[in-house]
Amino acid sequence: MRLILDTHVLLWAVDRAENLGPQALSLLRDRENEIVVSAASVWELAVKVGLGKLSLSLPFRSWIHKALADLEASLLPIDVAHADQVIHLPKYHRDPFDRLIIAQAIVEQTPILTADREFAPYPIRVFW
């Protein structure tokens, strides 16, 4: 199964695995699953690191490259269809990074791995 990681799941999978739930851990460890990281998550982490709101276990660029390699994850770029889908999303969730990840999940028809309960009202599959 293909899975898009929410930003906090990416962060926890690399630096704080104890925060992951049992199903999340199982899905991440299952090599049959294709793990995908949204470019929105990379951007969100960069913004938070740049603002001093987040520190990572390595410098940002090294951390991202190591995270993708360790998780055997691919990067999901943001395209016009994803941006267009954001326009049509109900305003259940206000966070712009999460709204873009939700839009990508809808367009790509791919579930999201997240602990964020605000994703539930959207027409996507969510695992935690």
CATH number, domain of 119, equals: 3.40.50.1010
Per-residue pLDDT reduced to its tens digit, 28-71:
999 999 999 999 999 999 999 999 999 999 999 999 999 999 99
Question: φ, ψ for residue 49 (rounded to 5)?
Answer: -65, -45
pTM of the predicted structure, to 2 decimals: 0.94
User: How many other CB atoms are there within 10 angstroms of residue 95's CB atom?
Assistant: 13
Total domains in the chain come to 1
Predicted local distance difference test score (pLDDT) of residue 93: 86
Per-residue pLDDT reduced to its tens digit, 70-125:
999 999 999 999 999 999 999 998 899 999 999 999 999 999 999 999 999 999 99
Question: What residues make up the domain containing 12?
Answer: 2-127
